[in-house]
Structures are given as C-alpha cells and as structure tokens.
Amino acid sequence: MPFRSGTLLVLALVVSACSSSAGASLSGGGPRAEAPTRGNSSLIVRAEIDNFQGLSAWEAVDVLRRRWTQPRRGTNFGGSPVYANVVVDGTVRGTLGELNRVNVDNIETMRYLNPADATTKYGTGFLGGVIEVSTIRGR
C-alpha cells in the first residue's frame, strides 16, 4: 500500500507540473516574452520612448531620466563639472548635444553607464559616464 500511495503522489506532482506550463506549446516555440514596458534607473525601453514620437532623444531623456544629463561635480582634475558622453550603436558621438540629432522614432533603447562601466567598455575619457543609444537599425 505505501508503494501505491508514493506512486500516486509522484503522478499528482507530474500532472501539476504539466498543467503549470500550459502556455508552452508542443512545437517547442513556448510562450513569447513580451517587450518590457518600463526600464529602470539606467535603462529606457521602446515602450517609454513611444510617448515622445517625433521628438529628439534629448527631450525624452530630459523627461524620463533627467539625472543622466546632470553634471557630475569634482570628477576631473579641476573639480569642474563633467557630463555624460553619447554613444550611438557603439560609435562615440560626443557630447550630450548629440542627443538632439537623434529622433526617438529610430531608437530601440537608451542606457546610462556610470563612469567606471563606461571606462571599462569604451576606455578612458568618460568621467561623466555614457548614454548609449541603440537604434532600431543598429540591432
């Protein structure tokens, strides 16, 4: 009798596990992950950008993550403020003003890298960090 009870318990667990994956298809495709609707403090996703159609990346960042465009004080030798640089699809473009040249309709994501991460990824000279812009074409 104990063997039968154990078998029934295992069978119940298997059935339960199968029913919890009801969204998975037998063809192996499985459920599709939906695109995120909100980034985080260092990421702006396409769903957030959609609200700024026809505007510049600067305008979107200014509203969504204004702190990315704020100066960092005392991080260079003179103690004067430094600002983030802009990188578009892996190419360093320059100062924050470059965000005015990028239309949000072409952007997939924008990400802020702090100075340490920016230096690791792009080398020296990014004391204010980097705003990485990934365009739809650049995917």
Quote the pLDDT of residue 2.
55
Residue 37, C-beta contacts closer than 8 angstroms, at least 6 positions apart: 45, 47, 48
98 SS3 class: helix
Which carries the bigger pLDDT value, residue 96 or residue 10?
96
Q: Please state, in angstroms and as integers, the Cα–Cα distance from residue 64 to each residue in 60, 90, 103, 111, following that order.
A: 6, 22, 15, 12
| pLDDT tens digits along 35-76 | 667 778 999 999 999 999 999 999 999 999 999 999 986 556
Pick one of 3.40.50.620, 2.40.50.100, 3.30.1490.20, 2.170.130.10 as the CATH number of 36-135: 2.170.130.10
Tell me the per-residue pLDDT of 12-45, one tens digit each, with 9 for 90 and over. 444 444 444 444 444 444 454 556 677 789 999 9
Sheet containing 43-44: order of strands: 43-44, 107-113, 130-135, 85-88, 91-94
CB of 47 closer than 8 Å to CB of 37 = yes
